[in-house]
A and B are shown apart, each in its own frame.
Chain A
Amino acid sequence: MNPEALDQVYTSMAQTLTRVGESRAPLFLSILGLSLLSRLPSAEEALSLLAQAEAASLDDGAVANYPASSCAGADPARPT
């Protein structure tokens, strides 16, 4: 897939997620993930992608403990 096509898919996926809604997003993403994984040629590749996604989701890196309160005037709350 070239960058333009990837961009289109990204936009479609964001719009679909918004339509599905926050509460059902985990279900939607699980269905999508499973159908993509089932198309891979081997379990090794599937497990490697699962591991990558898990690490990327849990990784808060060095900034996890950043003292957000030192940022005067800004609410450290993440956008919802």
Chain B
Amino acid sequence: MTLPSHVPVLIAGGGPVGLTLAALLAEYGIASLTVEADEGYCSGSRAICMSRRSQEILGWIGADRPLIDTGLAWTGGRSYYRDREVLHFQMPHDPLQRYAPMVNIQQYYVEEFAHQAMRRHPGLATLAWSARVTAVQPGPDGVSVEVEADGARQTVRADWLVACDGGRSTVRDAMGLKLEGMQYEGRYVIVDIEQESQRPVERLAWFDPPSNPGSTLLMHRQPGNVWRVDYQIRDDEDPDEAVKPENVLPRVQSHLDMIGETAPWKPLWISIYNAKCLTLDRYRHGRVLFAGDAGHLVPIFGVRGLNSGLDDAGNLAWKLAWVLKGQSPDALLDSYSIERVHATRQNLAYGAKSTEFMAPPDFGFRLMREAALRLALVDDGVRSLINPRQSAPISYDTSPLNREDRAPQAGPAAAPGQPAPDVLLQDGDAPQYLTAHFGAGFVALAISPDPAVSAVLDALAAATQDAPRPLQVLRAGPGSLADPHGQLALRYGNQAGAVYLLRPDGYVLGRWIAPSPADLRAALAPYYPSLNSTATSKGHA
């Protein structure tokens, strides 16, 4: 295909992060071209655990429904030492929740659903398969990118280049940037097999199982009667030998025998993995931005890889849209780097802890793990050490975007910089989730506002009506949204007059009790320039 000579956003890499970003940008009316070196969706299941937060982000492009319809939801898991259960954990969940804490699904489905979302915006989100970036020439106002497609080289001029091209990012290499950090020695073989099973969908982990003494083994169900089996190999095993079917299949068979899964099975995909804790120190380099594995590699344990990549896309999409639509200066994109590098550092800290348990790197961690597992059989007090620290949204408590917390008495759950906790509200007869309002403009959530504050919010919303994504105002209290389950009171406090401003990506920007018009205007003006021009006329509303 002939590529355009100029695009507002060029996305290098059509994996799940790149395709989701393209669809999110299209939702905001931003045109992009995504170039993907492969000729189709990924092969192999790859990242299979989609967190609640990832489901929420995919909801912004309408990809949550097919994900949930196809995927397998789960809420907890079991860990065994040898053949005895030492932990049965549950992630926070309740019957009123919008999304399950985790859904298992093959990565190629996520790519397909994100691509379908792109195709709902023809002309805005274009995808070129079999097209690879070969050179990058960054400039002050844009980036010249050389793309090889169909054997021909073309130059595409992009206002912004987003590298979503994975752990071996071409863009990163072309920019002379390197991931920094450390990697662990312990290697895991990853095997998908097809086998019918009646087992519930749970995360299953065995330490030193009789089937594979000395190893650690994980199992997850996937749609289509597929088991993911991960197991650790010994440090002295040759990784090339370890992935040969003649070395893989007997270990899998031995374990299936042990747990009594006797249906016929066949292998689908075999890969190998070792834990890495690597990141760039900045995800913005002028007009080039990095998202997903191109910017950071986190250990597989705790499923923070793709989930953090989708969080990158969710953070970046609205900021890029605001800058490209002229609503905010490009310095807003510095906050993308600050917030997401901070998130990576948290993810790396959790990931390192998980890895130290799942693939103990040295004598001390090996001994302590055995001690914890043996003690956990008889002492509940240490069982929490075995818990796999599954991915959770990271608080941006150091973000420069946060407004000063003017309602600390409302509790820590929804403080500035926190991911806004979901709440099931009631609009007349219709249940309404708070998070369903994210992925568009800013949201003002007002709890029983008095008439003066209510009028100010209406005036602010009216003054943003001509913005690409206006301010939405949600009111809770008598005569407006009801809190029938008490979740709003629990998570946001129940003080009348509280106002929360929530970002398009569902993070709390600021909160106040009975804010002055000037407070709210100052908080929103960086994102709605029309509020500056109306300051004098509406300032006393």
Residues of A whose CB lies within 8 Å of any CB of B are 3, 6-7, 10-11, 13-22, 25, 52-53, 55-57, 59, 61-63, 66, 68, 70-79
A56 to B385 Cα, complex, angstroms: 17
Given A68-B213, A70-B254, A14-B385 contact (CB < 8 Å):
no
Select the residue from B210, B365, B367, B381 with max chain A CB neighbours within 10 A.
B210
Interface segment out of the listed B54-62, B174-182, B369-377: B369-377
Does B214 contact A78, Cβ atoms closer than 8 Å? Answer: yes
Look across to chain B and name the residue whose beta carbon is closest to the beta carbon of A62: B83
Closest Cβ–Cβ distance, residue A7 to chain B (whole Å): 6
> Is there contact, CB below 8 Å, between A22 and B363?
yes
The docked-state distance in angstroms from the alpha carbon of A45 to that of B534 is 72
Given A7-B384, A59-B374, also A76-B213 (CB < 8 A): yes
> Chain B interface secondary structure, helix, strand, loop or mixed?
helix
- B337 within 8 Å of A (CB atoms): no
Question: Could you tell me if B363 and A74 are in contact, using CB atoms closer than 8 angstroms?
Answer: no
Q: Which residues of A contact B363 (CB under 8 A)?
A: 17-18, 21-22, 25
Binary A-proximity of B248-263 (CB < 8 A = 1, otherwise 0): 1011011000000000
**Contact (Cβ within 8 A) B251 A7:** no
Note all chain A residues with C-beta closer than 8 A to B250. Answer: 71-74
A-B interface pairs (CB < 8 A), number: 100
Listed residue (A6, A13, A55, A63) with the most chain B CB atoms within 10 angstroms of its CB: A63
Asked if A71 and B254 make an inter-chain contact with CB atoms under 8 angstroms apart, the answer reads yes
A-binding residues in B (CB < 8 A): 82-84, 208, 210-215, 234-235, 246-248, 250-251, 253-254, 353, 356, 360, 362-368, 372, 374-375, 377-379, 381-382, 384-385, 387
Contact B368 A73 (CB under 8 A): no
**A63-B83 CB under 8 A given contacts A56-B378, A76-B213:** yes
The residues of A that contact B365 with a CB separation of less than 8 Å are 14, 18
Closest to A18 in B: B364
Some 16 contacts from A to B, beta carbons below 8 A apart, are A3-B385, A6-B381, A6-B384, A11-B356, A14-B365, A17-B363, A18-B365, A52-B379, A57-B374, A61-B83, A63-B210, A72-B253, A73-B246, A74-B212, A74-B213, A78-B214
Smallest CB separation, A60 vs chain B (Å): 8
Q: Which residue of B lies closest to A73 (CB)?
A: B250
Known: A22-B363, A56-B378. A6 touches B214 (CB 8 A): no
Which residues from chain B contact A17 at a C-beta distance below 8 Å? 363-364, 367-368
A13 in contact with B368 (CB, 8 Å): yes
Which residues on the A side are within 8 Å of B246 (C-beta)?
73
Note all chain A residues with C-beta closer than 8 A to B235. 79
